[in-house]
Structure 1
Amino acid sequence: MIVQQRTWWIIFILGIGQSLADFTVSQQDLTVTVGGQKTFQLYLNEIRPVSEDLVVTFDVQHSDLVRTDPVSITRLNDTQVNEWSITIFGLGAGHSIVSTNVTPVDATDTTEAFVRVTIEKSEALYHVSSVVGWVYFLAWSISFYPQIYSNYKRKSVVGLNFDFLSLNIVGFVMYSLFNCGLFWISSVEQEYFNRYPKGLNPVLVNDIVFSLHAVFATAVTILQCFIYERGTQRVSITARMIHGVFAVLILISIILASVNIITWLDFLYYCSYVKLAITLIKYVPQAFYNYKRKSTIGWSIGNIFLDFTGGMLSMLQMILNAYNYDDWESIFGDPTKFGLGFFSVAFDIFFLIQHYVLYRDRQEYVELPKDYSQSNESQRILTIPGSYQGS
């Protein structure tokens, strides 16, 4: 009997602290063109009957970009109306958040009653940007295979720098950890939304597919290094030291996350920082290796063309979006993504210059033994260091 009384007393206390009702919306993401309009539904879900009048006002983050109609709603306590249509008008390109404020404050919960509004100048530009995005996604995804095919065709990986490969696989593993963790682990995703209550999960399905595919393709290339001729190539001491620094950083981050000093979301961010750092330095070993050999043989130019195409289209999409949403801060305010794309394209141009200008006259030739015959299956194809190959 005493236990039952305590149980009901606890329920009563929790009931006092609980809101009478909560407001929700039909959709939390809305896209409207400048001069256009869209409508969403506002709902009142009564947990217990609300016995007082409610006044709902809409708080617009950027009033020069968005206007609502109506600007406020009064819900009388003797009415049964619990649903309203709210119209959003696009005034200028950009991003805005429409939130709800209710009086009296303690009567309802409006945590989920907000709409992220994207106002675009042109719907056609949105579709062009989408197409550009998928094209560069495909270009970057396919870019791994010319190198794999070249290695298979030559039965050799001489000319492909192992430092570049080792940095590449670590970078894509870190990128995959970030994407998969934030996309599939619900507790990490909740940490993100706790930190950014009105934000969107930045990881999309195509990010997952690209990063995992990149790990697979790079792993296949590394496997070829154990199968085919590789000469005297090894991962350099410098690269091993860099990997050691990254390993210590990740290990410390895992320990800190395990003892709750940092969140697992922070750990994933540290993984992404490692990926960014690797993107900045990974092409340097290959460029220097080509210079030292005075040759690009073994380094597939098809890979460079596709990477160059993907990088250019990636930057084009960022520019299109910046113009369409009047959001140039996404490029100039936080230049990391654009800068990384530009940096990769700059290296691609340098590789093209190496291939077609600096070392274009060096031809690969085959040296055969004197007793060579058509039936001699033990022939060896000897490539002069610093020679040129077209693929």
Structure 2
Amino acid sequence: MQGKMLKVLTLLLAAVAPYGSCTSLELQFTPQDLTLLKGASTSILLSLKKSPDNATIEISADHADLVYIYPSTITVIEGNVSEAWTVNVTAVDVGRALVAANTSSSLIDVTEAFVRLTIQHSDFLYHASIVVGWVYFAAWSISFYPQIYINWKRKSVVGLNFDFLSLNILGFILYSLFNCGLYWIPEVEEEYFKLYPKGLNPVQVNDIVFALHASFATFITIVQCFIYERGDQTVSITARVIHGIFALFLFISVILAATLVITWLDFLYYCSYVKLAITLIKYVPQAYMNYKRKSTVGWSIGNILLDFTGGMLSMLQMIFNAYNYNDWNSIFGDPTKFGLGLFSVIFDIFFIIQHYVLYRTRGYEVVAGTTTTSSSTEPISA
């Protein structure tokens, strides 16, 4: 009796052995990332190395209004080896969709049976967005160096507002945190797509590089404030109170995220909102200082012109992407980037008027540690 049971068990193990490896029963799409123009069609390959039993494969998209799939149903015959099927995909409308396969067989692994499909209006807009993105990155990144150069050349930071710098460094650190978190942390990105299922991640590689570089360049400028002549300039009590309010808000947000009251995506959004608020107010101290001194000497107009260029191109890139993927939620999904560009442009226009119209014949000099105002018939170029 025991011999018969052992024989039956041996035969059973022999029958199951070919299916013990998950790899041999893996259902997989090739390729798994695909970009199509609206109205275009292509073929993708669905493969199965070995069929363990008779089964039905159902292929569908999470957004059926964006893509047409044929065939949507495939029959699998038990025992067939290395089966492969051609699946035709037609892009019906622009957006983002996930094409996935499911099967009635519990023995088939469908983990890799998916295709991330991106549908766009125009391939030209796709490449134009990339070019614009890197040009705005270059303009915004270079914009920090005229100020650094002027500080070095004058061996003075008189005319550069310390409140502006203190707010700027905090804002860019938070902006870096938001961009890196949304781009590099899969769990956060998954939370974003739950909010905007048809959308694309609004953070691009150039956004990350810019934010990190901006933090570095602002830090260098702050170091200059400890080295060069600065007169009686300090960070004001008002700015310190604002920093305290932001710090308290972020501290509470971290606790709420850590205790799962809010998601980490919410926390990153809160960081971005603080950055947006900083962008709205950080230029005010510098604009007021220019008004009070009736001069823009010490405040680089080259910085402003490049900042204006970067702000315009940043918004243009977001508009290109929003139209190309019919994803206008991406602007609201990353309000900091759009707001950063918009508010920067508005203040840049004001600074340009101050420099070239209101105070173009006024100078401000540093003499033996004191500041004096001088008049000139020549325009000031700071």
Answer whether TM exceeds 0.5 for this pair.
yes
Tell me what 1:389 maps to. Answer: 380
- Could you say if the C-alpha distance between residues 180 and 55 of structure 1 is closer, same or farther in structure 2, counting changes exceeding 3 Å? closer
User: Which residue number corresponds to residue 305 of structure 2?
Assistant: 305
- Aligned residue number for residue 189 of structure 1: 186
Contact 1:172–1:275 (CA under 8 A) maintained in structure 2: yes
Q: Give the match's secondary structure for 1:315.
A: helix
Q: What does residue 158 of structure 1 align with?
A: 158
Tell whether 2:52 aligns with 1:61: no
Letter in 2 for 1:88: V
Map 1:139-158; keep pairs closer than 5 Å.
Answer: 139-158=139-158
Distance 1:324 1:115 in 2: 20
The separation in 2 between residues aligned to 1:145 and 1:235, in whole angstroms, is 22
- 1:126-145 aligned at under 5 Å gives the runs 126-145=126-145
Aligned residue number for residue 33 of structure 1: 37
Cross-structure match for 1:102 = 102
Structure 1 residue 142 displacement after superposition: 0.7
Q: Distance in 1 between matches of 2:206 and 2:91?
A: 29
Does structure 1 retain, via aligned residues, the 8 Å contact 2:229–2:369?
no
Is the partner of 1:313 in helix, strand or coil? helix
RMSD: 3.4
Gaps of 5+ in 1: 1-14, 368-379
Per-residue deviation, 1:360: 1.3
Alignment of 1:326-341 (within 5 A): 326-331=326-331, 337-341=337-341
Q: Tell me how far 1:119 sits from its aligned partner.
A: 2.2
The answer to whether the 8 A contact 1:60-1:66 is kept is no
1:88 & 1:345 partners in 2: Cα distance? 43
Task: Give, in whole Å, the separation in 2 of the partners of 1:239 and 1:366.
Answer: 25
* Mapped partners of 2:365, 2:343: distance in 1: 34
**Structure 2 residue runs without a partner (length 5+):** 1-18
Q: 1:87 aligns to what?
A: 88
- 1:97 is displaced (CA, Å) by 1.1
Q: TM-score, normalised by structure 1?
A: 0.79
- Asked if the contact 1:137/1:210 (under 8 Å) is kept, the reply is yes
Q: How many angstroms apart in 2 are the aligned matches of 1:263 and 1:19?
A: 35
Alignment: residue pair count: 358
In structure 2, do the counterparts of structure 1 residues 33 and 344 end up closer, same or farther at CA, with 3 Å as the change threshold?
Answer: same
Structure 2 equivalent of residue 291 of structure 1: 291
Q: Could you tell me which amino acid in structure 1 is paired with residue 253 of structure 2? A: S
Match of 1:10 in 2: none
Q: Identity, % of aligned pairs? A: 59
Q: Which position in structure 2 is the counterpart of 1:363?
A: 363
Distance 1:51 1:384 in 2: 90
Question: Contact between 1:62 and 1:96, CA under 8 Å: does it hold in 2?
Answer: no
Distance, in Å, in 1 between the alignment partners of 2:335 and 2:369 is 48
1:114 corresponds to: 114
Match of 2:28? 24
Q: Secondary structure at the match of 1:384?
A: strand
Tell me, in whole angstroms, the C-alpha distance in 2 between the residues paired with 1:192 and 1:360. 48
Which residue is equivalent to 2:277? 277
Query: Which residue in the other structure is 2:75 paired with?
Result: 74
Change (3 A) 1:28 1:362: same
Contact 1:279 1:340 in 2 (8 A): yes
SS in 2 for 1:77: coil
CA contact (8 A) 1:67 1:88 kept: yes
* Cα distance in 2 between the residues matched to 1:163 and 1:365: 21
The change in CA–CA distance for 1:31 and 1:330 in structure 2 (over 3 A counts) is same
1:72 Cα offset (Å): 3.0
* Matching residue's letter, 2:325: Y
| DSSP-derived class of the 2:45 partner | strand
TM-aligned CA distance change 1:312 to 1:119, over 3 Å? same
